[in-house]
Amino acid sequence: MSVRKLKPITPGQRFRVVNEFDAITADKPEKSLLAPLKKSGGRNSQGKMTMRYLGGGHKRKYRLIDFKRTKTGVDATVVSIQYDPNRTAFIALIQYTDGEKSYVIAQNGLQVGQTVVSGSGSAPEIGNAMPLSDIPLGTIISCIELRPGQGAVMARSAGAFAQLMAREGKYATIKLPSGETRLVLADCMATIGAVSNSDHQLVVSGKAGRSRWLGRRPRTRPVVMNPVDHPMGGGEGRSSGGHPRSRKGLPAKGFRTRAKAKASNKYIVERRKK
């Protein structure tokens, strides 16, 4: 995977850095694994705006991703690596020996023609999904469950990975991408390898219109609002003093919003760094 800087022949291309997509091997998605995706524009069922700065964007179809990897012990061949407009990571189309097709999150280094398998007793190779109890210590993992059978919820975005640090009793200790070290039940599934498209963080849009294509509308800075609209609004002229805070008045930039008595706090061995 690599990125390419465009020549500045237009203002929009002057700072543009694009993904080469050299890992992509197919340009058409599998029709049987597509679902419609309706846009809300940030409105709820009553038509009232509940999320600001959302709307527009290119029409998409959702790719049905198998986050659970419940088809255990059956070999599957990687048919293609594809782009998914709904996520930053690439996805892999796999076909099981019985003919069933499925989409999974593609790991870095996953190749077309490679065989992947899930379940206990699998080899700890890239793309294989297995319980944390079977994975060797120190292995780089991604797409991790938080509860057995729930499906992958952690380390799913482009370039993300965690590391299996230790095992004790029914729990495994995992160092997450945020820097947090946490206990997770050893029965939970995880996939070997880091998530693909690690160069995603190097991409530069180059122009505001590309944000509009992604469904993001222009964002108004709180400091230019009126006092009725935001705690940081108002003032004479271009005043921008005061403490940074949210629209509801909660302090931002450093203020911890996690509940002190949250039940899952006991599973956190080391907090993430500020």
Q: Write out pLDDT tens, residues 96-133.
A: 999 999 999 999 999 999 999 999 999 999 999 999 99
Structural domains in the chain, CATH included, are: 3-201 (2.40.50.140)
What pTM value is reported for the model? 0.92
Task: Show Cβ contacts of residue 227 under 8 Å, excluding neighbours closer than 6 positions.
Answer: 233, 234
Quick one: DSSP state of residue 79?
E
Q: What is the pLDDT along the chain (274 residues), one digit of tens a residue?
A: 689 999 999 999 999 999 999 999 999 999 999 999 999 999 999 999 999 999 999 999 999 999 999 999 999 999 999 999 999 999 999 999 999 999 999 999 999 999 999 999 999 999 999 999 999 999 999 999 999 999 999 999 999 999 999 999 999 999 999 999 999 999 999 999 999 999 999 999 999 999 999 999 999 999 999 999 999 999 999 888 789 999 999 999 989 888 999 999 999 999 988 6
Signed CA dihedral, 94, 115, 150, 152: sign only: negative
The tens digit of pLDDT for each residue in 252-273 reads: 998 988 899 999 999 999 998 8
Distance from chain centroid for Cα 62? 15
